[in-house]
Amino acid sequence: MLGQLQRIGKALMLPIAVLPVAGLLLRLGQPDTLNIPFMAAAGNAVFNFLPAIFAIGIAVGLAKDNHGLAGLAGFVAFQVLSYGSQAIHSDNNLSYLGAIVAGLLTGWLFNLFSRARVRGLDFLAGGRGLAVILITLTSVMLSLVFGVVWPFVQDAFNTLGHWLAATGAVGAGLYGLLNRLLIPFGLHHVINTYIWFVYGSYHGVSGDLNRFFAGDPTAGGYMAGFFPIMMFGLPGAALAMILAARPERRQAVAGVLGSAAFTAFLTGVTEPIEFAFMFLAPLLFVLHAVLTGLTLMVVYALGIRDGFTFSAGLIDYILNRNHATHGWWLIPIGLVVGVLYFVVFYFSIRIFDIKTPGRELEGAGTAGGGFILDEYQVGAATSREDEENTTSIFGRSSEHRALEYVRALGGAENILEIEACTTRLRLNVKDVEKIDELWLKQLGASGVMKLNRHNAQIVVGTIADLLVDEIKPLL
């Protein structure tokens, strides 16, 4: 179950990946920025077709080898489900929920039948044509069910939306708490999808993110609170870890965590910092989740509304500054949050002697944190040739890097599936115990999560996609 949820979380990131460029075009084209109508129209073109993009992206994300034909099948499935159910009940609007169902259905059936061999049907593209036919027929039959059932589904989610609206700041705080607690499992995208794309309605547009960019003055309450956390809170935690490091290691720690803090401030990508303490001090991570929830609650209660298309960093803050409500308050609030994070992290590390980067035993790497601060010789040399070819983690060629990762993951025979998801490698392996965590961290991984016997995630940063492309030919 966890393995399947992990794959779903990864698949949801594919359609979300198109949002930054769409949001950039939309905002730059507005009268309060560059006032270029055709740029705004180009951005709106993406937002208007996001449900279909979700169906395509999820289908491709779940299909083996990310096969493009699955994306076409996902689009067909979504259209059949939408138009078929509307023919039965005109008020049916499958939107993002229907797109997610279509994508999941397509991915499952495509993997089940795409490699099937049926006598007399060899002309059907090696089974993939058969899979598309079966997906379409299944969608037709399912549209009959949706035509009757979907009004009740819509009512249920409308009720949930009204409950969240009624809870106000409490609902925002609960969302912030769950959002951070689900990060170790890579499942925060699942809850994000509902909040960003389903929750609430404004002139036919649904979701806190979509409504914000459509001009809904009540939208953005579930996103605004992330700006103080990502721009100031976690950089404050990084500063605490730098100052808590041993004096002789502090400069090396500052190089790693300093760049991670700047990345969080500028773009809102926070995983490199979070994985530095997530497994070293689980209680500290839970406290981080609680502080996130409290910040979202306070920001919502103050009536501050702001949004983003990628993450809550400086870039999105600047682009959306004229679209936000009381958005300037996020800066002083962020400074307070940054000081709070610094104090909590610094004294917790000191009092409980937490082995954050730069405090680990000499030569042991960073246990659990994943930051390697010295130039290590990576890999166990099994022959003189291996020994000569083994290099430090800095400056190695892409071929050497990919080969080292394959070896650290237990060898090619241990890797059943490997995919990239933003900053993570998501793996299905024969045995996770064959994965060498220390070796991976020496290669530069920020975190290693062994979810169960066969599923693991490796946080490698923004090189995830490139690294998977380098690794797959070796398998």
Q: How far apart are CA 323 and CA 141, in angstroms?
A: 44
The per-residue pLDDT for 80 is 96
Q: Are 319 and 27 in contact (CB under 8 A)?
A: yes
The residue count of the chain comes to 475
* H-state helical runs in 431-472: 437-442, 464-471
Q: How far apart are CA 443 and CA 391, in angstroms?
A: 11
Q: How far apart are CA 413 and CA 181, in angstroms?
A: 33
Q: Are 226 and 312 in contact (CB under 8 A)?
A: yes
Just give the CATH number of 384-474.
3.30.1360.60
Q: What is the pTM of this model?
A: 0.72
Q: How far apart are CA 291 and CA 342, in angstroms?
A: 12
User: pLDDT tens string for the chain (475 positions)?
Assistant: 666 776 787 788 788 878 888 888 887 887 877 888 888 899 888 888 989 999 999 999 888 877 889 999 999 999 999 999 999 999 898 988 899 999 999 999 998 887 665 555 555 555 677 888 899 999 999 999 999 999 998 888 888 888 888 898 999 999 999 999 988 776 787 788 889 998 988 988 899 999 998 899 999 999 999 999 999 999 999 999 999 998 988 888 888 889 889 989 998 888 878 877 887 778 889 999 999 999 999 999 999 999 998 889 998 999 888 889 999 999 999 999 999 999 999 999 999 888 888 886 554 443 344 444 443 333 333 333 443 443 333 345 677 889 999 999 999 999 998 988 777 898 989 999 999 998 998 888 888 888 888 889 898 877 888 899 899 999 8
Closest CA to 145 of 99, 85, 187, 202: 85
What kind and span of H or E run contains 206? strand 205-206
Q: Are 71 and 25 in contact (CB under 8 A)?
A: no
Closest CA to 110 of 133, 82, 88, 143: 133
Q: Which residues of 392-406 are buried (b: 16+ CB within 10 A; e: fewer)?
A: ebeebeeebbbbbbb
Instruction: Please list, in sequence order, all residues whose beta carbon lies within 8 angstroms of the beta carbon of residue 334, skipping any fewer than 6 positions away.
Output: 227, 228, 231, 232, 233
The per-residue pLDDT for 370 is 42
Per the annotation, the verdict on 453 as an active-site residue is: no
Which residue ranges make up each domain of the chain? 2-213, 226-352, 384-474
The per-residue pLDDT for 117 is 58
Q: Rg (Cα) of the chain, in Å, rounded?
A: 24
The per-residue pLDDT for 193 is 87
Residue of 13, 76, 130, 421 with catalytic role: 421
The per-residue pLDDT for 322 is 84
Partners of 426 in the beta sheet?
419, 457
Longest dimension (CA), the chain: 73
Q: How far apart are CA 328 and CA 132, in angstroms?
A: 51
What kind and span of H or E run contains 414? none
Q: How far apart are CA 40 and CA 214, in angstroms?
A: 11
Interval 412-435: pLDDT, tens: 999 998 988 777 898 989 999 999
- Number of helices (H), then strands (E), belonging to the chain: the values are 21, 6
Instruction: Please list, in sequence order, all residues whose beta carbon lies within 8 angstroms of the beta carbon of residue 223, skipping any fewer than 6 positions away.
Output: 196, 208, 209, 212, 306, 307, 308, 312
Instruction: Please list, in sequence order, all residues whose beta carbon lies within 8 angstroms of the beta carbon of residue 165, skipping any fewer than 6 positions away.
Output: 171, 200
